[in-house]
Chain A
């Protein structure tokens, strides 16, 4: 691959990483602000639950953006076992975090889907809180 292209893709992956970190930070700030905003409306347990869900959502989206950056990195990495093994480790950790976040937000592993009826009723309940 031409060296110019490698430099460009390197910068691209850096930019995507910045976007991912931005998502994480702004999501966390938003959740914190929302927590205090809700303090007048909701009881403590509901507030805490919403706060946790908000944090989890921003982590999942941020991770997904960071995975995009890693995919770009796999394009330019020198094909050696050590460097690709490192990327594989990062991807494995991110996958694990993303699964445990989904577990925390939705209460079940990503590959266990709940019955639709239950999903719908829960969604309705959360929508009331979100506004």
Chain B
């Protein structure tokens, strides 16, 4: 791949990673801030479950952006078995996290059908 294009794609990957970090920082602050702001209006139970699902949603969004960054990285990475295995493991970790976060918010695995209302 020509150096210039590789450079541009790499830059795009960095931008994606930074935006996902921003999502985490801002989302964390908003979630905790909302919790503290509402702490007197809600019962402990409600406040807890709202904070928990807000945090999980923030992390899910950030992970989704990171997956895009991972895919971009597979384009630019120097192909060796070592680096490919590392990237694969990283993708497994992120996929696992996004599954368990969805489990926390929805109370079911992503492949399970939605509960009947």
Contacts and interface: CB of A to CB of B under 8 A. Distances in A.
Interface of A: 1-2, 5, 9, 12, 16, 19, 54, 57, 60-61, 64-65, 67-68, 71-72, 74-75, 79-81, 84-85, 87-88, 91, 95, 98, 102, 110-111, 113, 123, 126-127, 130-131
Contacts of B107: 110-111, 113
B6 interface: no
A95 B112 CA distance: 19
Contacts of A127: 43, 45
Contacts of B97: 67, 71, 91
Given A98-B104, A127-B45, A130-B45, A88 B115 contact: no
A75 B89 contact: no
27 contacts: A1-B17, A5-B14, A5-B18, A12-B21, A16-B28, A54-B44, A57-B48, A60-B48, A65-B55, A68-B28, A71-B24, A71-B63, A74-B90, A75-B66, A79-B90, A81-B89, A84-B89, A84-B90, A87-B93, A91-B93, A95-B100, A110-B103, A110-B107, A113-B115, A127-B45, A130-B44, A130-B45
Query: What secondary structure prevails in chain A residues at the interface with B?
Result: helix
Contacts, number: 102
B85 interface: yes
Interface residues of B, number: 43
Given A16-B28, A71-B59, A80-B82, A57 B44 contact: yes
Given A16-B28, A81-B85, A75 B21 contact: yes
